[in-house]
Amino acid sequence: MPELSKNAPPPPPESSHPPPRLPNWPLENSPPPPSSKLSGLLNELLYIGISLAGTRPNMAERICRALRDGALEGEHAPALTIKDSIQSPFGSMVFDHVLSQLSSFIVAQKSQSQGIVLVAFSRGPLCYEELFESKGNDVASSNKWIRVLDCCTDPLGWRSKLMESGRIANFTLGTSTTASLYKNVKDLDKLLLAITELGKELVGDGKGRFVVAIDSVSEMLRHTSISSVAGLLSNLRSHDQVSCLFWLLHSDIHETKAIAALEYLSSTQASAVPITRPVNGQRGNSEKLPFLEQNLRGGKIHVRFKRRNGRVRLMSEEFCIEQSGIKFTPISSEAEMIAQSLVPKVQFNLQLSEKERNDRAKVVLPFEHQGKGKTIQIYDGRKSLNEDKPEMQYNSVEKVQTVKDSGRGEIIYFRDSDDEMPDSDEDPDDDLDI
Amino acid sequence: MAGNKPRASSFSRNFSAASNTISQIPGLKHGPNGTMFLSSGIPDLDKILGGGFTLGSLVMVMEDPEAPHHMLLIRNFMAQGLVHKQPLLYASPAKDPRGFLGTLPSPMFSKDEKSRDRDVEQEKGLRIAWQYKKYFGEQNSEFQRDGKSEYCNDFDLRKPLERHFYSGQQIDCISLQDSADLTTFQDRCSSFLSQTSRNDRNITCAGRIAIQSLGAPQCDFSDKECDMLSFIRSLKSTIRSSNAVAVITFPPSLVSPAFSKRLQHLADTLVSVKAIPDEDKELAKLLTGYQDMVGLLSVHKVARINTQVPTILEATTFSMKLQKRRSLILECLNQAPVDGSTGSSYASSSSCSGSSKTGSLDF
């Protein structure tokens, strides 16, 4: 019996769940004014438009667009965690990809935010300048939309102390106009202040918003505890002017508690995993090499996306590293079934839907027709009666009675077995006529 | 919808005139075994738990890190308290917990919406001469729709709570983020609970405490699990001797398993919420109404005060849906209709006359 679904085919989830007031994570301020809710709704409708047109945005684009659209007012900013491990060490390339996508959105003025504050722990500002040049962004005008907080050159302030005391020669790295040096990574309150000040410099004090990108939270965790890092990230998320944030994490160098805490704080997680090799018999050395090579050049990326209505979307794609950067392609091999733990103890549906209720109202009950001029019939179990019953599920072994959608309806009764005595179906109360 | 019928014993409590005032206090009602209930803010949850949250109990909600459903429970709980003018204490790890008050939902009054018409239909057109009907008279009085204040309101999640509910109310908001340990918070809780203690015979009001995300990573005391446990223990004992209910949510995935188990044992009522995957074809085939579901709620334990008899629920897992996208309803999980002609569906289904064993013997 096909399931009676109200919409066929099931609509894309965006249309059946326009953003209700269920935010990602605790709302801070007053509920969103209708205009920003509407813009969120429009964005989701845009996704529907695109998907109906047949060109589904690929997963990486979707993530970038979700970040670009940023936070609704009064909501925590969306946060992306990019995870990798030694088996698939491409997290920084994914990070660069997201960074360059967002910067192109910002330069084209298509996003909620007007600038990026990049907190660079593992790579210096010069690296990023080269990255932007290679992507074609104009470096000269970059100080309009990006600021780099340089926590890489001198994180603990040792270099400047040594320079002051004259121990080492005074030398300056090629400084860029966009970078400011930060020397006190152990103090995360000051770091928060520095980030927000840079952001305000970029976008002004009013309604402007900025993106925060943290090069490597793993580096931060080297210096401070997970609770202060979590405090910093949640304060950034709840800051009025932060539109979205994303960070990189190397998952195999931290304990599970730290990783769980960071997953708790983020609304999307993208993990780069190696392509698993199929298990088939003997694996000599000669077979291992192609896989190693393959994993050096690419891998898979699994995304868990927490939607506003509380459902979790899981997506996967493959990526490969090329000269120009990283390229995402949909999964080519046979679709993997992501097994989810199913719900226990599901009961049968004992309630009636509207249609079923209407059908039930049309029931001509037994013996109702008697006394209206027709001959009285005693049911003897062999003929099918002209009665109507709604479809109800039983916990018994009787075969299901089907519903016919005619005006009067019919019961089609399948006997349990054909060699039963006809009398055994007779209900002794049948000759009562109450 | 699984309801929990109150155990009808042959003894009934003789309510004297003095305690009749309790039934006139909005938001409280008598429960079995000399307990009193206050509403959770979600009518379906009240029905499942047999009336609501027992006064003097500790309710724990286990969060799912991937879904914000525990916020729905807390929001409804706090909004119900404000509608009934009950003092409220709210604590969260955010820097500014006052802002959360702006997100509380507004109650829907029955003259605006026909929200619960499914129950009314039950008895229409049927007249049954039944001698036990007099024992069920109490239940029907819950659904008073004549403008008097209701025990439990339906909340419209899309509309914020109006300003007049906040004025003149005692609402304390505490941020847990900056405190190094829980002693100050414990003192605040004790002083709050002393207002609603049970020493005097007549209770004037009941109090509500809502603690969100105890053990969230932002708080410094989150690694000190012994401290958190001793705080919860002292809170539980103080609450037991006062007319208040505390709802605490915690993320079990972020704390050690031993601590999580201890918290679960400490709870009087234990509820957990779970996220569901989006666009999962297997689940869509298995469950009806999958399109409307936002999450799952499981009730693991129901408060047992003044009694040794446990409450056994017919169903423990419920789906959370938004009815007309605004009010939260909980429904039993319903299996999608299966094709009966094959017959083998019964062998693979999970329940067989109520039991959950899928053995090789199938009836």
Question: Percent of chain A, pLDDT > 90?
Answer: 14
Q: Is A34 helix (H, G, I), strand (E, B) or coil?
A: helix
> Radius of gyration over alpha carbons of chain B, in Å?
21
pLDDT at residue B142 is higher than 70 = no
Closest to A239 measured CA to CA, from A328, A147, A113? A113
Chain B hits for A235, CB-CB cut-off 8 Å, are 95
User: What's the token pair of residue A390?
Assistant: 């709604």
Say how far residue A312 (Cα) sits from the centre of its chain.
5
Tell me the per-residue pLDDT of B335-346, one tens digit each, with 9 for 90 and over: 666 654 444 333
Q: Is A150 helix (H, G, I), strand (E, B) or coil?
A: strand
Query: Which range, A152-156, A281-285, B178-182, is most confident?
Result: A152-156
Model confidence band, residue A6 (pLDDT cutoffs 50, 70, 90): very low
Query: Which range, A396-400, B29-33, B355-359, is most confident?
Result: B29-33
**Nearest CA to CA, how far is A365 from chain B (Å)?**
15
Between the alpha carbon of residue A142 and those of residues A278, B179, B261, B328, the distances in Å are 46, 41, 53, 48
pLDDT value at position B270? 94
The reply to whether omega before A366 is within 30° of 0 (cis) is no
pLDDT value at position A246? 93
pLDDT at residue A368 is higher than 50 = no
One-letter identity of residue B219: C
Those residues with Cβ within 8 angstroms of residue A211's Cβ, 6 or more apart along the chain or in another chain: A67, A102, A106, A113, A115, A116, A117, A242, A243, A244, A245, A246
Q: How many CB pairs under 8 A join A and B?
A: 197
Contact A79, A245 (CB under 8 A): yes
**What distance in Å separates the CA atoms of residue A47 and residue A36, rounded to the nearest whole number?**
17
The residue whose two tokens read 């946060």 is A79
Closest to B2 measured CA to CA, from B311, B328, B330, B302? B330
**Nearest CA to CA, how far is A300 from chain B (Å)?**
20
Contact yes or no for B333 and A347 at CB 8 A: yes
CA dihedral B197, B200, B202, B206 (to 10 degrees): 0
Mean pLDDT of chain B: 77
To the question of pTM greater than 0.80 for the whole model, the response is no
**What distance in Å separates the CA atoms of residue B247 and residue B74, rounded to the nearest whole number?**
8
Mean pLDDT of chain A: 70
Chain B hits for A391, CB-CB cut-off 8 Å, are 337
Question: Percent of chain B, pLDDT > 90?
Answer: 23
Contact yes or no for A347 and B295 at CB 8 A: no
Say if the ipTM goes beyond 0.85: no
User: What's the token pair of residue B22?
Assistant: 């309790």
The residue whose two tokens read 């780069």 is A272
**What distance in Å separates the CA atoms of residue B169 and residue B165, rounded to the nearest whole number?**
8
Q: Pick the range with the lowest mean pLDDT from A154-163, A217-226, A315-324, B140-149.
A: B140-149
CA dihedral A424, A425, A429, A432 (to 10 degrees): -120
According to DSSP, the β-strands at B171-175 and A242-250 are unpaired
Tell me the per-residue pLDDT of A196-218, one tens digit each, with 9 for 90 and over: 988 888 888 878 889 999 988 99
Contact yes or no for B99 and A31 at CB 8 A: no
Say how far residue A278 (Cα) sits from the centre of its chain.
28
DSSP string, B7-39: ---S------TTTHHHHHSTTEEE-GGG-EEE-
Tell me the per-residue pLDDT of B260-318, one tens digit each, with 9 for 90 and over: 999 999 999 999 999 888 887 887 877 877 888 888 999 999 998 888 888 888 888 88
Q: Burial letters for B275-289: b for 16+ Cβ neighbours within 10 Å, e otherwise? A: bbebebeebbebbbb
**What distance in Å separates the CA atoms of residue A34 and residue A106, rounded to the nearest whole number?**
24
Residues 18-77 of A with CB under 8 A from B: 18, 20-31, 74
Residue of B76, B325, B341, B361 to mutate, testing the A interface (most A Cβ within 10 Å of its Cβ): B325
Chain A hits for B158, CB-CB cut-off 8 Å, are 20-21
Model confidence band, residue A339 (pLDDT cutoffs 50, 70, 90): very low
pLDDT at residue A416 is higher than 80 = no
Closest to A304 measured CA to CA, from A274, A329, A328, A340? A340
Chain B hits for A1, CB-CB cut-off 8 Å, are 337-340
pLDDT value at position A289? 64
Between the alpha carbon of residue B15 and those of residues B21, B225, B242, the distances in Å are 10, 44, 21
Average pLDDT over residues A400-405: 36
| Pick from A4, A30, A311: CB nearest B278 | A311
* Of residues A393 and B151, more confidently modeled: B151
pLDDT at residue A295 is higher than 70 = no
| Pick from B68, B160, B334: CB nearest A25 | B68
pLDDT value at position A232? 92
pLDDT value at position A53? 43
Chain B hits for A4, CB-CB cut-off 8 Å, are 337
Contact B286, B336 (CB under 8 A): yes
Question: Percent of chain B, pLDDT > 70?
Answer: 73
Closest to A149 measured CA to CA, from A172, A178, A173? A178
Model confidence band, residue A55 (pLDDT cutoffs 50, 70, 90): low
Contact yes or no for B284 and A10 at CB 8 A: yes
